[in-house]
Structure formats: structure tokens, C-alpha cells
Homo-oligomer: A and B are copies of this chain.
Amino acid sequence: MAVTIRDVAREARVSVASVSRALNGHASVTEQTRGRIADVAARLRYVPHSAARSLITRRTQTIGALLPDLYGEFFSELIRGIDLAARARGLHLLVSSSHGNANEAAAALRSMQGRVDGMLILSPHVDAAFLRANLPDSLPAVLLNSAAKNAQYPVLNIDNYGGACAMVRHLLDAGHTGVAFIAGPAGNFDAQQRDKGYRAAMAEHAPKMPLNVVDGDFSEEAGYLAGRKLLAQKPRPRAVFAANDMMAVGCLHAFKEAGVRVPEDIALAGFDDIPIARYVAPPLSTVRVRIVDLGRSALERLASTLEKPDQAQALSVQTLSCEIVVRGTCGTKSNEIKARKKIGDQSIQ
């Protein structure tokens, strides 16, 4: 049925070994025979059977991406970044969402076993114990936005802390005396780091102001509710920093609904710079995360680990910088394009 290496060998009057060598660019095969073999292979439309090849080489040329979900612009961009880098290296990409559920994640991890040369794992929930239980030691992996620094895997994080600091500081610099914070879900690593950034910046630049944190869970709905709660506070906050953009958008709706002007009455800022941020009215000031770069870097990190497996460099934690984007909601005069401020180190430790 399908044409195999044997067919090519027979047709080209050589052994299968020569075909293999010729097609894989090994040395020690005459230019002439190589040419003949290539011709025959092309004519027969020969495509090596990848399973057979993987069986003997123990390589699949595929990397797996385990995501908590596939919903929303964040994952879309992340996958795009990963795909970009993967294609540049001739690697295939096997994606799987785990729906947040730990059991499903474990199952996904197990079923990817043997199908991939390495894993990219993005899950705010995975801890070292989970990985030890479900990832064989032999399978290289890179963790994204993970708290598991104790693990034996390289970790790639967003500079949530630095970004939050910078935005809070920007709001304070703009003259807003009090800055409230809408927090993210409790167990989420990103949310925790942003919260820490808020607290640190307040402590440093407005030590006398009380902290003002209301709960949230990264959803638009939670942002809306938080917005209403903030409006009900007796001395109304002058500025609000939401732990992500979707909550900021919900909060903005609450403010509009109540007839509160943004940014005149209350300044507002988010985190992530999702596309929607540019389109709400007024456009949302936020902290930009270069998600595509996150995906790309993660894949490149993994790929280099794959190429030289015994490199100790793998064990470090890298942090990707963010930048604040000033648009309409935070009450600074500056224009969106000009007022970007680079923050954060490219890499820590």
C-alpha cells in the first residue's frame, strides 16, 4: 500500500541502508547515488514512516503543550508563540487542555508519554508533587508561570510582581492619593505575585495610605461586583488597579453604570493588555505582557534542553519583563504609543 524505504531501495538498486543514509544526509554516500535515490524517492512520493523512525531513534520531533484551558486570548497568543518557535525548529506541536482538573491533567500527561520529546506545562495549579507523580524523570519539561521553583525543571515566569509595582507607582505618580486593588483567584500564582507587587509598591511609595484590596477571580463579572463594592466605600478610592484586564473591564462597566467618570472621578488600570483593552471606552491603561514571547522562549528553552540534555542551565528561573501601557483610563495625559515604560529585568537569577 504505502511506499516504504524498501520500495525506494529496490527501485534505486541500492540497499535500504543506503537509502536511509542518503535521505538523512549522512556522509559517505556518493553524490551520484544520493541523487539517484532522491529522484526515486521523489517520484515514488516516499515519506518515511514516522512511527517506525521514532521507534528506533527514540525521538518524535514533537513537543507537547499542556494548558489548563484553551479559552481566551491569552492561550491563543501563547500557542501562537510556541508554534512560531516550534516551526522554526521543525518540531511538531501536540496540544492538550486539561480543563483545570488535576485528574484530567494527569491523564493528559500520561497519554502524551512517548508521543513527545518534551513538555511545556502551563498550569497555575501544578506543584512539585504533582509533577513527580505524573512526569517521568526522563521527560524534559519547562514550566510556565509556575510557583514550583523547588522542582527539577526550568521555569519561565512573567514579571507579575514588577509589572504590578510599576503600575501602582505610575498611578501614585499621577497624583491619585489612594489606590485600591482588585485581587485575582486565591490559588493562582500570577494573581499572588500581582498582589505582592501592589503591596510592595504601596509600602514603598505611599506608606501612610491604607491598603485597599477587594476579592476577585479574574472574571469580568467579579470585576463588575468589585467595582460596585468600591463605589460604595465611604471615602471613594481615587484609583483602582485590577489584577487583570477582564476584571478592569467589568469594573469599568460598573463605574459607567453608576455615572462615575473615568478617569476624572476614578482612574483605572488592568493587567495583561488583551486586545479588548484598546477598544473599551475610554481605552484601558494596563500592563502589557508579551505572551507570544513567553511561548517562544519556553519552546526555545525546551528545545535547547533537548539538544544538550545534561546542561545544568536548565534549572534556573527566568522572568519575562512587562511594560505599562498608558491609555485613557488612568488619568495621565500621555499618549498610548509614546508612554510605554520598560520595566523589569529580562532575567533573574
Contact = CB atoms under 8 A, between A and B. Distances in A.
Interface of A: 1-2, 45, 47-52, 54-55, 60, 62, 70-73, 75-76, 79-80, 83, 87, 90, 92-97, 110-115, 136, 138, 249, 275-276, 279-281
B92 A92 contact: no
B49 A70 contact: no
A78 to B, nearest CB: 10
Contact of A110 (B2, B47, B249): B47
30 contacts: A1-B138, A2-B136, A2-B138, A47-B114, A49-B55, A50-B51, A51-B51, A51-B54, A55-B55, A70-B76, A70-B80, A72-B76, A73-B73, A73-B76, A73-B275, A79-B79, A79-B95, A80-B97, A83-B95, A87-B96, A90-B111, A92-B94, A92-B111, A92-B112, A92-B115, A93-B95, A95-B95, A249-B279, A280-B280, A281-B281
A79 B97 CA distance: 10
A95 to B, nearest CB: 5
Tallying the copies of this chain within the complex gives 2
A237 B214 CA distance: 48
A70 B83 contact: yes
- Grouping DSSP codes into helix (H, G, I), strand (E, B) and loop, the A interface class, with mixed when no group exceeds half, is mixed
A33 to B, nearest CB: 23
Contacts of A76: 70-73, 75-76, 79
Given A49-B114, A50-B51, 4 more contacts: A47-B114, A52-B55, A83-B97, A94-B94
A198 B164 CA distance: 48
Contact of A276 (B50, B62, B80, B276): B276
A261 to B, nearest CB: 14
The 3 residue pairs across chains A and B that have the minimum distance between CB atoms: A76-B76, A51-B54, A70-B80
A199 B217 CA distance: 46
A194 B96 CA distance: 34
A276 B280 CA distance: 8
A295 B199 CA distance: 43
A94 to B, nearest CB: 6
A8 to B, nearest CB: 15
Nearest to A53: B51
A37 to B, nearest CB: 18
Nearest to A277: B279
A70 B62 contact: no
